[in-house]
Structure 1
Amino acid sequence: MELAEVIKTAINPALAILPQAMDTPKARVIVLTTGAHESKYKDRVQVLNGGGRGPAMGFWQCERGGGVKGVYTHPASTGHLHNLCAARNVPFDIPTIWATLETDDVLAAGVARLLYYTDPAPLPATDDTEGAWKLYLRTWRPGAYDRGSPAKRAQLRAEWEGHHRAVRVVMGLK
């Protein structure tokens, strides 16, 4: 899916449900970059190297016991997640939220935004690729990076750079 379509069909509706203060250019850049990095907006279920299904769901590849549980239990996000689920007619329980991420891009975008909301640091500037990368590593805790070789880590960082730049271009930012 193209970034403009993701903005129109997932990001805009999700951010319209969440508090207005969560809808900022900084938030849009980090959330869009994360989805591009995690799934390239192609896979709503994690695809393992052998072709099987992994534990992560949605374009943002949130795991049941990781991002979903974190947003569900964190005091800063749980109320907002409850409202998001109510607006999407999704029962408010971790297994259902996690499973629904596969088919509900609005819910998935909202969960991704809320996961970043749980981090106490301010969002990085829209042109701060390195700050965005560090925030992504801190909140998503990607296994491919954590377990990766130095070469794999360098590859992932370079891919992030490209996604971050593409998002800024689509958004009309430098």
Structure 2
Amino acid sequence: MTHADFLRRIMRPAAAWAEQAAGIRSSPEALRFLLAVAGQESACTHRFQILANGNAGPARSFWQGEQTGGMILVLRHGKTSAMARQLCDAASVRPEPAHVWRAIEGHDGLAYGFARLLLLTDPYKIPVDQAPAWECYAERLWRPGRPHRGAWEANWDAASVAVRAETA
């Protein structure tokens, strides 16, 4: 799925659901960042991590949240725990890491909401340029085991074009 299709078909409805369920707003900057992350983590295609041997890995959703990773742990963060619980309530999911982790594979609104909440835990403003966005993604929030900087640049550019085209 292209970044533009993913934004239109997955992210926009998911963002609307997260806002209705828990008051989580998404700016164009947040959408661009999270679209680039989805491209980087899952190629906007895979709802679970696919390992080199073809087996499923530990990450779930287009944003590849792991059961003990930051995306799921927004349940315990002081700034996001109340909104995370509201999302869980709206999705009929117990607000516990194992339950959320299983649910985000198929519930795009919950997955997007938790990814957006992780972005809210960052002490800095949402980055608007590619290099600071990489730092936010790779060093502070998602911290992938095998970061691929070259792929990030392509995903950031594609996300930028998709969000700009949609808001034009």
User: TM-score, with normalisation over the residues of structure 2?
Assistant: 0.88
Unaligned runs of 5+ in 1: 146-155
Matches within 5 A, 1:35-114: 35-114=38-117
Post-superposition Cα deviations, 1:90-136, rounded to whole Å, max 9, x if no partner, equal 222111100011111121111111111111111112xx000110000
Count, aligned residues: 162
Contact 1:48–1:54, Cα closer than 8 Å, also in 2: yes
Contact 1:68–1:94, Cα closer than 8 Å, also in 2: no
Contact 2:40–2:151, Cα closer than 8 Å, also in 1: yes
| 1:158 and 2:160 correspond | no
Match of 1:144 in 2: 146
| 1:167 and 2:156 correspond | no
* Paired residue secondary structure (1:35): helix
User: TM-score, with normalisation over the residues of structure 1?
Assistant: 0.85
- Letter paired with 2:144: P
Contact 2:7–2:162, Cα closer than 8 Å, also in 1: no
Contact 1:44–1:59, Cα closer than 8 Å, also in 2: yes
Alignment match of 1:115 (pick from 115, 118, 124)? 118
Contact 2:34–2:116, Cα closer than 8 Å, also in 1: yes
Report the CA distance between 1:21 and its aligned residue. Answer: 6.6
Please give the root-mean-square deviation of Cα atoms over the aligned residues, in Å. 1.9
CA distance in 1, matches of 2:10, 2:89: 16
- Letter paired with 2:14: A
Unaligned runs of 5+ in 2: none
Post-superposition Cα deviations, 1:120-162, rounded to whole Å, max 9, x if no partner, equal 111112xx000110000110010013xxxxxxxxxx1111011
Match of 1:12 in 2: 12
CA distance in 1, matches of 2:57, 2:104: 13
- Letter paired with 1:122: K
Tell me: CA distance 1:82–1:129, structure 2 relative to 1, closer, same or farther (3 Å): same
